[in-house]
Amino acid sequence: MQKRTSDFEYTHDITILSRKNVIVLHTLLWSIFIVLLLYTILPTITVRLLYLWVYKKKVTKDGIALTFDDGPDPEFTPQLLDLLSKYQVKATFFVLGSKAEKYPDIIQRIHQEGHLVGIHNYVHWTNACMTPKKVRKQLTDSVEAIEKIIGIKPIYYRPPWGIINVFDLFLVKRFRLVLWSLMVKDWRSKGGIERIKSNLLAKLQANHIIVLHDSGQTFGANRDAPQYMLEALDAFLEICKQRSFTFLPLDTYLLLLQVKKRAPSRLAKKFLVFIWLKWERVFNRLFNIRPIDVDNQIFYSRVCKYHGKTIHLGSGEELSSGDLVIELHFNNEKLHQLITESNSMFQLAVKMKQDVQSFLPTLAQHVHLLPEKVKAIYGITMIHRGSRQLGFTVTELPKGLFSKLTQLYLKMLLYVLHPNGKDRLKLKSELLSPRIATISTEELYNKYAVSVEPIPIPEHAISIS
């Protein structure tokens, strides 16, 4: 009988351990997804969908930008240069720094024949899998290698596979990021010459930036693919010559043309807002962030431990690391509605102050009914006008990586949710600096818990993260 009890306890312990492992694995996978989303997926989608900070398509009707990635290649790049010379076409080569060092004579020939030399990283690694420091080293080493050969610092940059990370957005001060508007998958041999030529002709427009590849040595490429590309390009250029198309390197485009800074289309903007709000629903569910009042969902919240520097509250109390707080999050669907209905940031601040003021009594009653002893209400916001008048202590975020990432995230949020978000971002940076807004629960209750009827507290709203 004793043995059976022990077996049951052992099996029970194993079951609990297995559940814990599943929870840990689930949390780990979600954490990896969130990191990838913020680090590379959202920045890449943003620049591609909204044409932000990159050159992707020109507005001229009189020229095509022909670009080549992954070279130089000792076998195919000289053949390509002969072909371009035959048709008197000037192009842009986004080269790998390591290959430039290995084949300096080819880089020198590219430059001497009037083509533009740009950067495609030192080796063909995606920026999504590299730290910001590693990306900077890739670019610095490439610049030094190319400048040593042709005497000019390259300023045009195309990240491998067109994928960036969030820190690459700071590179726009040093480089001009260039993507493409037409790709024909010429790195594959399947389908041969006809597939590449027909794809080029079927999708050809006079204002395209076309990307082709003069090397088949990168991951996923066929080694002999550039040979098919060269033969297809020969036939393509002959047809373009008959149609009187003009080809120019990218720097010539930018000298002759004023690049149109297009505002994103209303459809693209709506799509981005839709994706952003859907993602936030997943985020809230993952971290158990729920509405306090289902009838007035301006705020979502969770009970968690505060981690940060000590904050001196207006009531004379101190909020220290490890104290329990209610962490407030704006319901961004409601925020989007308020932003859309406001004519200015000032009007938005007034509306938000009114909504927050009407919500605070409910929040005070919620705090009073919680079984845990919560020290303060805590939130990070970029719209903090009027917070002090409501009793909140407003402090700056400590400088560091978290502060920079928070500011970048909130600016992206403003860009996405505000119809004129791009113009809003041109305001002085101090007006768009995130702040910590905090109020002690004691002060909140003393100020706002007056003549408030008890409200039912949903079971899911009482949780400690």
What does the alpha-carbon distance between residue 324 and residue 303 come to, in Å, rounded to a whole number? Answer: 7
Query: What is the layout of strands, in order, in the sheet containing 393-396?
Result: 290-291, 299-305, 324-330, 376-381, 435-440, 393-396
Q: Of 69, 168, 186, 323, which one is the catalytic site residue?
A: 69
Q: Of 208, 213, 329, 418, which one is the catalytic site residue?
A: 213
Active site residue 69: yes
Q: Which helix (H) or strand (E) holds 429?
A: none
3-state secondary structure of 439: strand
Q: Where are the beta strands (DSSP E) in 65-196?
A: 65-69, 92-95, 116-119, 156-157, 176-178, 182-183
Query: What is the residue type of 316?
Result: G
- Range list of H helices, 103-248: 104-112, 132-150, 192-202, 225-242
What does the alpha-carbon distance between residue 465 and residue 290 come to, in Å, rounded to a whole number? Answer: 12
What does the alpha-carbon distance between residue 170 and residue 168 come to, in Å, rounded to a whole number? Answer: 5
CA quadruple 250, 253, 255, 258: dihedral positive or negative? Answer: negative
CA distances from 428 to 23, 346, 433 (A): 44, 15, 9
Active site residue 213: yes
3-state secondary structure of 442: helix
What does the alpha-carbon distance between residue 211 and residue 226 come to, in Å, rounded to a whole number? Answer: 13
Tokens representing residue 93 in the block: 């080569």
Which residues are identified as catalytic? 69, 213
